[in-house]
Structure 1
Amino acid sequence: MSFREPIGDEPTGRANPELLKMHPSHGHDMTIVNGISRIGYMTGGKAARWVDEDMADTITSRAVNFIERSQDEPFFLYFSTHDIHVPRVPHPRFVGKSGMGPRGDAMLQLDWSVGQLLRTLDSLQLTENTIVIFTSDNGPVVDDGYHDEAVEKLGEHQPAGPFRGGKYSTFEAGTRVPLLIRWPNKIEPSVSEALVSQVDFLASVANLVSQEVPEGAATDSRNNLAVLMGESEEDREFLVEHAASGALSLIQENWKYIEPNDRPFYNENTDIELGNMSEPQLYDLSADQSEQQNVASQHPEVVAEMQALLEKVKTQK
């Protein structure tokens, strides 16, 4: 596989659009697999190729089988669904059911997959003492490379809610993601505003199962088990965010600092503000969660402190 130049002689979406059942809107026009052109050029590996419409059924059934085989001992299952990503090509039984095109139909399929896993836990009487964590890898994006009616059918819905930006962005909509944790035996239903990071899962779960994190490993991970269990609202001391555009930002208390950089501010393909600027940015998230008012010039001392902390973190080993 190559992301730089063609390999092999297989048809591409760019040269053979007549072979496509879903057309790219930007990029995603390289080697065709299952009637859809992809990111990257591929050749060979025919036995490992996939049918998008069958992926949810395949990975869900295997996850269910794994739980059934493992029910008599502690187990860990990482279930990475493809429905959160393009191309959005759900199984025919979901097609047209949402009224919101392939994107909406894929959401229904994701809901079904999660439901299958939860029902399996119920049927095996594992629900009460099984921790379920549901989260995402980045903020939302509507047009991420294919003509799938996502933009046309969006209407007035705001996928990122009050937050600015989206996937790829250094603004909060790029890096702030949903996080739901269920453990009926231990966690009372609640809503938390505490600042945590997925990076903290490693140290927190290690503490839960009485394991030591090896010296020098996962140095950014913090033991936030009490927060994840709903027993504390204590924030992280600070949190570094790394946007897909490459820029770093720092959250500490109510402040968010975005380091100056020369990357583009806006992505025309995805219609998303990336948030990059050549001057420092500072936002008071307690009063301006949509990051509309850059107050860096009004608080130079805060900018200096946060810039120094971010530089220290970047050089730590």
Structure 2
Amino acid sequence: MHPIRFKLSVTLVLASFSLLRVLPTVADDGRPNIILIFTDDQGYQDLGCFGSTTIKTPNLDAMANEGVRLTNFYAQPVCGVSRAALMTGSYPIRVGEPGNVKRLHTVPHPQETTIAEMLKTAGYATGIIGKWHLGLSGPAGDDASTMPNAQGFDYFYGTPRYNGATVYVDDSKLRSPILRNQEVVVEAVADWDHITADYTREAIKWIEAKRDQPFFLYLAHNMPHIPLGASENFKGKSAGGFYGDTIEELDWSCGQIFETLKRLNIDEKTLVVFTSDNGPWVETTRAMQPDAAAFIPRDHSGNADPLRGWKMSAWDGGCRVPFIARWPGMIPAGWTSAELLSTMDLMPTFAKLAKAKRPTVTIDGKDGSDFLLRKTPTSPRNEYFYYSGCLLTGVRSGQWKLVLPRAKSPQGLGWWGRMIEAVPESMLFDLEADPGETTNVASQHPQTVTELMKRIEWARTELGDLDRTGSGARMFEKGPRKLQVSPRRKVSAK
């Protein structure tokens, strides 16, 4: 070979190796790609690996066999509130909102830090495909400063809010748009039969485009929130009815994601988490009153068994949800844990794994990375506070759950207060022995009640309650905290 050509070839090879060294690939430093799959209104039992006998979920069952399944994982009891806790790593009552208004669906203030913003500063590509439901909207449309592209996401494809609040699309004049970043690509969704397949195609395209750098994909499905939808390959096929059809298509979608990761040779570089925003929306009659008008047919909503309650309720069925995590070679395969963890813990967990800097403000999430990787058998979370809007309704610590007295349909909770039942006295439940919260054992364990009440008082002081602003609540604007729906009567702090 001519000496000049040889020298040029060597130079090109060395330059190629140099380029490879500076590309932010997962292989360089062990940081995983992160895919968070978040379903909408899926019940605790609505997977085969969580006990369903009518809904088939082979891909998610395989995911559980290849990773970890958590049986005491907590979200929040309603959609927007749950997404705020997830994105900020904080109890929603702590999260700052525009105008200092505590809304029924939390809207994080633009100065709040999201998971996407945190990971973006660590060099991650960030994308959300699906439902956002954390934006501020008004007569002029959505406030851009509260939408995904202003909250750390490079790419957004999906719905700005929920898909509806009626059983069928034609039951309401509401028609949701679908956006791609700031552009409206579908002005009004006429039916939801193809939304899961649509999101799956978008997700695969985005993964393919970002495979050569660390990425965070938040795949926030609209299903199985009403109005339901399932494509031709799934509609009418599940023994779990129309609701089962939607879950089985979601399971198919997860299978497509895993096939894509394997095809691109990034499966072992990718952490995938699957969970739901809250429990199933079970409301066969309005507020479940025996004399009220019929509302959601039973085959249009899921199952939280063996838990008590459902979406919007203050029982565990409202906020305890299925959770599966898989990262081949890093998360040991096939184990189950009853340790506590929550959506709030995902932010600091992802921060540790991605070598990203956590927000400088106080958050409520705990770093669960060593627990999920099974370097330690115990979770960093030892308690969970139950909030319905800004109303503190109880606390869990270990096996014990203390439920506070409350009125039926408490004031200040707006439309979701209708699902809150009256509790005349403090109640203590052993959730290990009694997950259905059927037997009050407070009189048998007075010391436990006393200790849990100390934690309740801490939460009231630090986080707040319906009648008070917590000392740790974030407010980015002048003036006091305001409730979107003000109580018409004083709520006791006792």
TM-score normalised according to structure 1 size: 0.77
Query: Which structure shows the bigger proportion of residues in strand conformation?
Result: 2
Q: Structure 1 38/200 Cα, relative in aligned 2: closer, same or farther at 3 Å?
A: farther
* Residues in 2 aligned to 1:289 and 1:273: alpha-carbon distance in whole angstroms: 19
Q: What does 1:276-295 correspond to in 2, within 5 Å?
A: 276-295=422-441
Q: What does 1:60-71 correspond to in 2, within 5 Å?
A: 60-71=200-211
Identity of aligned residues (%): 31
Q: CA deviation at 1:207?
A: 1.5
Q: What's the counterpart of residue 164 of structure 1?
A: 308
Of 59, 75, 99 in structure 1, the residue corresponding to residue 199 of structure 2 is 59
Query: Does the 8 A contact of 1:194 with 1:227 survive in 2?
Result: no
* Residues in 2 aligned to 1:130 and 1:41: alpha-carbon distance in whole angstroms: 32
| Partner deviation per Cα, 1:160-182 (whole Å, 9 max, x = no partner) | 23221122222222211111000
Q: CA deviation at 1:114?
A: 1.3
Q: CA deviation at 1:73?
A: 0.6
Q: What does 1:226-305 correspond to in 2, within 5 Å?
A: 226-235=370-379, 236-243=381-388, 246-264=391-409, 274-305=420-451
| Structure 1 residues without counterparts, runs of 5 or longer | 8-26
Q: What's the counterpart of residue 298 of structure 2?
A: 151
Determine if the alignment matches structure 1 residue 132 to structure 2 residue 278.
Answer: no
Q: Alignment partner of 1:133: what SS? A: strand
Q: What does 1:1-317 correspond to in 2, within 5 Å?
A: 28=166, 35-37=170-172, 47-51=186-190, 52-143=192-283, 150-151=297-298, 159-189=303-333, 190-217=335-362, 219-235=363-379, 236-243=381-388, 246-264=391-409, 274-316=420-462, 317=472
* Residues in 1 aligned to 2:373 and 2:173: alpha-carbon distance in whole angstroms: 40
Q: Alignment partner of 2:340: what SS? A: coil
| Partner deviation per Cα, 1:106-128 (whole Å, 9 max, x = no partner) | 11221121111111111111111
Query: Does the 8 A contact of 2:405 with 2:424 survive in 1?
Result: yes
Query: Which structure shows the bigger proportion of residues in helix conformation?
Result: 2
* Residues in 2 aligned to 1:238 and 1:116: alpha-carbon distance in whole angstroms: 36
Q: Alignment partner of 2:395: what SS? A: strand
Q: Alignment partner of 1:53: what SS? A: coil
Q: Structure 1 163/204 Cα, relative in aligned 2: closer, same or farther at 3 Å?
A: same
Query: Does the 8 A contact of 1:264 with 1:274 survive in 2?
Result: yes
* Residues in 2 aligned to 1:150 and 1:230: alpha-carbon distance in whole angstroms: 42
Q: What's the counterpart of residue 14 of structure 1?
A: none
Query: Does the 8 A contact of 2:285 with 2:296 survive in 1?
Result: no
* Residues in 2 aligned to 1:127 and 1:46: alpha-carbon distance in whole angstroms: 31
| Structure 2 residues without counterparts, runs of 5 or longer | 1-103, 105-138, 140-164, 178-183, 287-293, 411-415, 463-471, 473-494
Aligned length: 280
Q: Structure 1 165/244 Cα, relative in aligned 2: closer, same or farther at 3 Å?
A: farther
Q: Which moved more, 1:133-142 or 1:191-200?
A: 133-142
Query: Does the 8 A contact of 1:86 with 1:145 survive in 2?
Result: no
Q: Structure 1 192/41 Cα, relative in aligned 2: closer, same or farther at 3 Å?
A: closer
Q: Alignment partner of 2:220: what SS? A: coil
Q: Structure 1 108/213 Cα, relative in aligned 2: closer, same or farther at 3 Å?
A: same
* Residues in 1 aligned to 2:454 and 2:306: alpha-carbon distance in whole angstroms: 29
Q: What's the counterpart of residue 19 of structure 1?
A: none
Query: Does the 8 A contact of 2:176 with 2:187 survive in 1?
Result: no
* Residues in 2 aligned to 1:275 and 1:162: alpha-carbon distance in whole angstroms: 19
| Partner deviation per Cα, 1:142-165 (whole Å, 9 max, x = no partner) | 4578989852699xxx92232211
Q: CA deviation at 1:242?
A: 2.6
Q: What's the counterpart of residue 43 of structure 2?
A: none
Q: CA deviation at 1:229?
A: 2.0
Q: Alignment partner of 1:193: what SS? A: strand
Letter matched to residue 137 of structure 1: D
* Residues in 2 aligned to 1:245 and 1:170: alpha-carbon distance in whole angstroms: 12
Query: Does the 8 A contact of 1:102 with 1:150 survive in 2?
Result: no
Q: CA deviation at 1:246?
A: 4.7
Q: Structure 1 98/188 Cα, relative in aligned 2: closer, same or farther at 3 Å?
A: same
Q: What's the counterpart of residue 22 of structure 1?
A: none
* Residues in 1 aligned to 2:300 and 2:212: alpha-carbon distance in whole angstroms: 46
* Residues in 2 aligned to 1:28 and 1:119: alpha-carbon distance in whole angstroms: 35
Letter matched to residue 179 of structure 1: F
Q: Alignment partner of 1:134: what SS? A: strand
Q: Alignment partner of 2:438: what SS? A: coil
Q: What's the counterpart of residue 11 of structure 1?
A: none
Q: Alignment partner of 1:131: what SS? A: strand
TM-score normalised according to structure 2 size: 0.51
Q: Structure 1 100/215 Cα, relative in aligned 2: closer, same or farther at 3 Å?
A: closer
Q: Structure 1 205/41 Cα, relative in aligned 2: closer, same or farther at 3 Å?
A: closer
Q: Alignment partner of 2:336: what SS? A: coil
Q: Alignment partner of 1:178: what SS? A: strand
Q: Structure 1 38/119 Cα, relative in aligned 2: closer, same or farther at 3 Å?
A: farther
Q: Structure 1 262/145 Cα, relative in aligned 2: closer, same or farther at 3 Å?
A: closer
Q: Structure 1 129/280 Cα, relative in aligned 2: closer, same or farther at 3 Å?
A: same
Q: Which moved more, 1:235-244 or 1:83-92?
A: 235-244
Letter matched to residue 172 of structure 2: S
Query: RMSD between aligned alpha carbons?
Result: 3.4
Mark the structure with the bigger radius of gyration.
2
* Residues in 2 aligned to 1:210 and 1:41: alpha-carbon distance in whole angstroms: 37
